[in-house]
A and B are shown apart, each in its own frame.
Chain A
């Protein structure tokens, strides 16, 4: 019941939100649904919820970790979204790149889609049945596409179209992967193993190996498209740069994790079936390739939202490398999921604040953020240092854990490439980000008279989380991470 409620609360609130005319009531609805759902997901840490739908919906350690992270991130984003929507009402809607006027989508549809998006992501995290998980991942695409097309103009439309088409094609390949898996789970005598993670893992030795390997490749390509692994990442920078910042924060901080979870579920079966070598090598290749592509496109990137988007490609690569290495690196990857989500969501929110004041996405046109927007400027600098892996922030610890695991396993080549790419990305991101924070702003940029407190308070709270994760990880979290990593090699 509890598991079903986690999905039903946002789904029902979302259906209602479409039809609520009053802005105030709809915003209260968004906040209360997000709060209730987050509270419920925290409660699952105390009371183990009973499985629903004959074991298809259940929370294991891995699912609970991702579910709670998604819920808490959404709660933060919903407070930011309410403040953002209020500001958006009073702003002029002249496009700052080309000067034309545009309108926004109905706020009711935006709020409704936000809540549907949460419902779909939650369903991904609690699905134990792999076909149901596929349905949920595709649902996240459909619920989030309208979020990208909030500002109604041709660039956001282009981004939405690419997102819809590329992800749908990728996901169609993942469906073929699910069917291949079903073939692999059919024994010569005609009996089948149900497509439930636990059943498949416990009987992984009986799977038909060639079909299962083919299934893994298709699922990796399919979910990898959604996760933003190179070379299937092409939708990601467009969607993240054109979506309103609160949607970008959710796409990067929560959605990519959900797609990653789809790969992790398959990896669990690989590990149980003794195929971790095969799957690990593939994950390593795609992971390092993603980091390399990100390094190329971050170097000299002038658009700071695209820079953050490519940084997400990089971090998804790091996660793939962590899982691919296996052993202690899996713990590092689990930790990195949390660190990346917190940091990147904060950075996108701060980028939204900078964008609202400077009205440009070009990093070279932004200067003096520390004096114009002291809070956001400071968070921007700290966030960029955190995401590039500087101590004492959380991402440093998790990136270091993965590096150490690579060295311990004697994978010198992986370690050198990994470290080299991290260094390149650090240099390429830190210099323009610092230039944005320092210096004197142009004359036409004025500090806003009064902006909603939540616009800087929400990213600040996430920032506190990032710092805390770097200094002190609570024992309960360490235990949860260990449990989540246990079946992943």
Chain B
């Protein structure tokens, strides 16, 4: 089992770098979609043999929503907003990758420092979760397009979810469903907003969203 968990975690880290380094919007959406699917598998893999119905069903739903449905919606938003297919970051791709490397180092250090009360299924789990969250934050602040900011938000959420899997939290089903529903509706509403931004401004660059500032005497 731990072999499977470790390979999933390595793939998770690689998708993080993919998200930071690709210049194509479609590739970024795909990277986040793969993350969603990986997390679904991860949540089942960490359960070590004692599978319950809810324990399988819930990661499946989550994987379908985050890995298939939301990416499909973002692809649609991309087409409808007729965004150019480039990511257009504020910082160069090299610098993004560098930032990712620093984030990975910080995550590994944090993973060693934090003492969990129970041993996680893999020592890589906590670092990979923190790394995915940090990648999300980097993408949110360093990218220009509204769509990439949503991708960053999803990556952040994925990292938090992975941390939940790492500490083998037994959250009640109602809460898990609520969290998933919030992410789902959140991205849905953001998708609608992107559609409106595309129509209103003829582009979805958020640095043009800068008419609201304080005008002081």
Contacts and interface: CB of A to CB of B under 8 A. Distances in A.
Q: A and B bound?
A: yes
Interface of A: 53, 129, 131-132, 134-135, 138-139, 141-142, 145-146, 149, 152-155, 157-162, 164-165, 168-169, 172, 175-176, 179, 182-183, 186-188, 190, 192, 208, 237-238, 241-242, 297, 299-303, 306
| Chain B contact surface mostly | helix
Contacts of A153: 200
Nearest to B140: A169
B211 A186 contact: no
A161 B153 contact: no
B53 interface: no
B196 A157 contact: yes
A142 B216 contact: no
Given A157-B193, A169-B153, A175 B179 contact: yes
A172 B179 contact: no
Interface of B: 116-118, 133, 137, 140, 146, 149, 153, 156-157, 160, 163-164, 167, 169-172, 174-175, 178-179, 181-182, 185-186, 189-190, 193, 196-197, 200-201, 206, 209-212, 214-217
A142 B186 contact: yes
A142 B186 CA distance: 6
B127 to A, nearest CB: 15
A241 B212 CA distance: 9
Contact of B196 (A149, A176, A299): A149
Contacts of A145: 189, 193
A153 B199 CA distance: 11
Given A165-B149, A182-B169, A132 B212 contact: no
A208 B202 CA distance: 52
15 contacts: A141-B186, A142-B182, A154-B200, A157-B197, A158-B209, A160-B193, A165-B140, A165-B153, A169-B140, A172-B160, A179-B164, A182-B171, A301-B214, A301-B216, A302-B217
A230 B215 CA distance: 19
A54 B190 CA distance: 34
A285 B157 CA distance: 28
B209 A183 contact: no
Given A169-B153, A300-B216, 9 more contacts: A132-B175, A134-B179, A149-B193, A157-B197, A158-B210, A161-B193, A164-B189, A183-B117, A186-B117
Contacts, number: 118
A157 B200 CA distance: 9
B156 A172 contact: yes
A175 B190 CA distance: 19
Contacts of A164: 186, 189-190, 193
B163 A179 contact: yes
Contact of A183 (B167, B175, B214): B167
A190 B137 CA distance: 32
B75 to A, nearest CB: 20
Contacts of A157: 193, 196-197, 200, 209
Contacts of A183: 116-117, 167
Contacts of A152: 196
B189 A142 contact: yes
Ordered nearest first, which 6 A-B pairs have the shortest CB separation? A135-B178, A300-B216, A300-B217, A158-B209, A138-B182, A131-B175
A241 B175 CA distance: 34
A300 B178 CA distance: 44
Contacts of B171: 131, 182
Contacts of A161: 146, 193, 197, 206, 209
Nearest to B167: A183
Contacts of A186: 117-118, 167
Count chain A CB atoms within 10 A of each CB in B117, B118, B149, B217 and give the residue with the most. B117
